[in-house]
Amino acid sequence: MPIPRYAGYSFDLDGTIYLGDQLLPAAAMVLTQLRTEGRRIAFLSNNPTRTRAQYVAKLRGLGLHAELEEVINSSYVMVEWLRNHAPGAPLFVCGEAPLIGELQAAGFQMSERPGEIAFVVASFDRTFSYRKLQIAFDAIRAGARLVATNPDRFCPVPGGGEPDAAAIIAAIEACTNVRCEVNVGKPSPMMAQSISTMLQLPPTACLMVGDRLMTDIAMGATAGMDTLLVLTGDSSRADLATAPHQPTYVAESLAELVV
């Protein structure tokens, strides 16, 4: 049965549009067709190790059309959440340079002084160290709040994966006995709201397309979007049996979107 057309489409990136540095089959054709029809497009990523501008550069480098106003990543949602709840607050970030740079550009001050840190931001951090854990520990014991960019346990890479933000969050929670208050990445409703705002469409007019049942499909389903699971990345048909949120559609590749 053909998948009906929607006014807006939200595409996860890694595992859906590309894998590592390789464009996945049919991605370019599908995006070109949807744009020709006037459909609105958003690109999503839980990965905060690239800025939105860097995602645009990567997509263009793979031969795809992309604009900054079409890209949402967990760094962007974290910046927006902090702007709304604690503008200019001093932060300690267990994260990499792109995330720190985006927070600084939004007016947030970085600090390593536990008594003045308002929020510890846990994220995907391949530079995580015992020193960072100690500062986070001391800051939280002094009253800082723990928030996070994304809940992913691992980041898929060709041939395997890398431990992701969940590992950093768990380390901080384990030593402080404090739970992370807010996690803004998929499947958070905060990221879903960012999609609706960016596309200027209600959730019911959008299709969420992704390769992960626990993030992409769960977020779309709880936000009221129809969802498409593509079997080009993390989740398989076998995983559907135990998934708490079932996709509206399942496809072997993106090509089935425009059949």
Q: Where are the domains of the chain?
A: 8-46+186-258, 86-183
* Cα separation, 67 vs 65, whole angstroms: 7
- 14 is known as an active-site residue: yes
What does 183-234 look like in DSSP terms, one character per residue?
E-STT-HHHHHHHHHHHTS-GGGEEEEES-IIIIIHHHHHHT-EEEEETTSS
Q: Is the peptide bond before 187 cis (omega within 30 degrees of 0)?
A: yes
Write the DSSP symbol of residue 48.
T
pTM of the model: 0.92
Query: Among the options 12, 125, 216, 234, which is catalytic?
Result: 12
Using a 10 angstrom Cβ sphere, with 0-12 exposed, 13-18 middle and 19 or more buried, the burial of residue 182 is middle
- 164 is known as an active-site residue: no
Q: Which residues define the annotated binding site?
A: 12, 14, 45-47, 186, 211
8-46+186-258 and 86-183, same CATH topology: yes
Q: Coil, strand, or helix at residue 112?
A: coil
CATH of span 86-183: 3.40.50.1000
List beta partners, residue 229.
210, 250
Q: Coil, strand, or helix at residue 165?
A: helix
Q: Provide the residue-wise pLDDT of the chain in tens; the chain has 259 residues.
A: 789 999 999 999 999 999 888 999 899 999 999 999 999 999 999 999 999 999 999 999 999 999 999 999 999 999 999 999 999 999 999 999 999 999 999 999 999 999 999 999 999 999 999 999 999 999 999 999 999 999 999 887 777 789 999 999 999 999 999 999 999 999 999 999 999 999 999 999 999 999 999 999 999 999 999 999 999 988 888 989 998 999 999 999 999 999 8
Report the CATH superfamily, name and number, of domain 8-46+186-258.
Answer: HAD superfamily/HAD-like (3.40.50.1000)
Secondary structure of the chain: what % helix, strand, coil (to 5)? 40, 20, 35
